[in-house]
Amino acid sequence: MATSFDVAVVGAGLGAFHAAEEIAKKSKSTKVAFIFGYTFQEFPLAAAMYLNNPDEHEKWTCGIPEKWQQRWPNVQYFLSSAERIDCDKKEIRLVNKGPDAGALISYKAVILATGSKSPLISPSPGMSLSERIAEVQACGKALRSAKTVIFNGSGLVGVEMCGDFRVQNGYSARIILLSRSGKVLDTDFGEKSQSPNPAVVQRVTDILTRKFKVEVKHGSVSDPKFSDAILSPGSLKLDDGESLDFDVYIPCFPVGPNTGSLVSSKRDLLDAKGALLTNESLQSTSHPEVFGVGITSTKVPGHPVSARITAASQHCALQALAVIEGKPVQVFKDKGAPPPMAHPMNVKIGHGPGGYLIWTSLPGPAKVCCCQCCQGGFPCCPPPCCWCCVAGCSGVCGTCGGPAEGEAPAIFMKSLLQKFQIHGYKGFGEYGGEVPKQDKMT
């Protein structure tokens, strides 16, 4: 027998968090099932660090649910993932694994914030913490001993992976960054916002190739086998016939939305790529009580991506409440903070000492504070702004008279990410009781 809820929120990232938070704040009488699906939280923005060095993983993970679960009285967490979301019956069956194995939940409205499949970069739905640690350790070990590594996808994540590889594993291995356009940053600028700024593309290419000794290779691979990471030696055949040997191969692009658990008698639930077919309200065109965040056919363009996801989540939460109350839904207008920007604020080529960060476009006040307009930089940047809060802070904008980039900003960024646990991420630094001390990484 199903347990009834008003709204079900499915997902374990910042999208699901902000959707549940919005309902918890706006309507305390609405009963919410938060189908989180894991017993741990892991910070995706730090993935390039811990995949290249598993010793970093625990610093960005919390395996104690009590530490990150919010105390919202109307929200109930479920720590087993959704196996089947039946849009006809409005029921969700959880997997037969984990603390809420096999539970059946019914809803009046559902918000799907299930993210994209990114093998290895993100844990697969339903993974236990021990399984995830084993995966991260295997990745780190394979990368450490690799002589040739191929990172496929030259967007922000691929560029970050190259930089953090050098930071953590040195310069002896050959790194190939595969790009379907032959250029860096094509995906992140092209699909999510505007065309890349040629000057930024050139600068990132120069730093990557000259300083980080990365080969940017023009080519694509259509064989679906290469949608998954391969941690043992193999060979990859590009679509133009050229073969590339590797010791480790990691796709650094999203393979498609996590919508495989959705079932419906209606044909037009998903598009050919698996995205939820939605209208301008981020509402399913076939099931009006179903909303999607980051997995929809309606695109939510702009940077920072996390701010766009947050805005979409808050919108979907309010629309789910409207559906329950029989009110009309509103068209999505991105009122997130900061407002949508055409380009990412920065490009990270690795974190911490040995890494490199390029500030590309900052919102107005931050631009002034970071002296981006006058190339102030350390030591001429205004001390009250940035000399005292986190490690590396004084060098956040680079050095005086130089461009706003360098190793110091990369050191600052790592400290910043560690210090500010935002978007519901809390309690990093503890695997907790699920992983006995002797099983932890060396």
Ligand X SMILES: Cc1cc2nc3c(=O)[nH]c(=O)nc-3n(C[C@H](O)[C@H](O)[C@H](O)COP(=O)(O)OP(=O)(O)OC[C@H]3O[C@@H](n4cnc5c(N)ncnc54)[C@H](O)[C@@H]3O)c2cc1C
Can you give the binding site for ligand X, defined by CB under 6 A?
Answer: 10-16, 35, 37, 44-45, 47-48, 81-82, 113-115, 121-122, 125, 157, 160, 258, 261, 293-294, 304-306, 309
CA dihedral sign, ordered 95, 96, 100, 105:
positive
Of the pair 22, 160, the CB lying nearest ligand X is at: 160
DSSP string across 193-208? SS---HHHHHHHHHII
DSSP summary character for residue 329:
P
Which residues does 355 contact at the CB level (< 8 Å), separation at least 6?
163, 164, 167, 348, 349, 407, 410, 411, 413, 414
CA atoms within 13 A on the CB side of 244: 26
Smallest CA-to-CA distance from 301 within 193, 412, 181, 172 is with 193
Nearer to ligand X, 19 or 376 (CB): 19
Question: Which one, 11 or 395, has the nearer CB to ligand X?
Answer: 11
Judge contact between 346 and 306, C-beta under 8 A: no
Residue 304: CB minimum distance to ligand X, A? 4
End-to-end CA distance of the chain: 46
CB of 278 closer than 8 Å to CB of 312: no
| Tokens describing residue 74 | 């109307």
CA angle 174, 178, 181 (to 5 degrees): 145
Of residues 23 and 82, the one with the C-beta less far from ligand X: 82
Helix, strand or coil for residue 317? Answer: helix
For tokens 């196996």, the residue is 83
Least separation in angstroms between CB 235 and ligand X: 26
| Residue number, 153 or 376, with CB nearest to ligand X | 153
- Best CA proximity match to 313, nearest among 328, 326, 332, 297: 332
Vertex 202: Cα angle to 199 and 206 (nearest 5): 140
- Least separation in angstroms between residue 411's CB and ligand X is 16
305 vs 404 by CB, closer to ligand X: 305
Question: Shortest gap between Cβ of 313 and ligand X (angstroms)?
Answer: 8
Q: How far is the CB of 326 from ligand X (least distance, A)?
A: 28
Q: Between 99 and 401, whose beta carbon lies closer to ligand X?
A: 99
Q: Provide the minimum distance between the beta carbon of 255 and ligand X in the complex, in angstroms, as a whole number.
A: 12
214 and 232 Cβ atoms separated by less than 8 Å? no
What is the smallest separation between the CB atom of 421 and ligand X, expressed in angstroms? 14
CB of residue 170 vs ligand X: minimum separation in angstroms?
20
**Smallest separation (angstroms) from ligand X to the CB of 241:** 31
Which is nearer to ligand X, 15 or 63 (by Cβ)? 15
Measured from the CB atom, is 97 or 174 closer to ligand X? 97
For 400, half-sphere exposure in the C-beta direction (CA atoms, 13 angstrom radius) is: 7
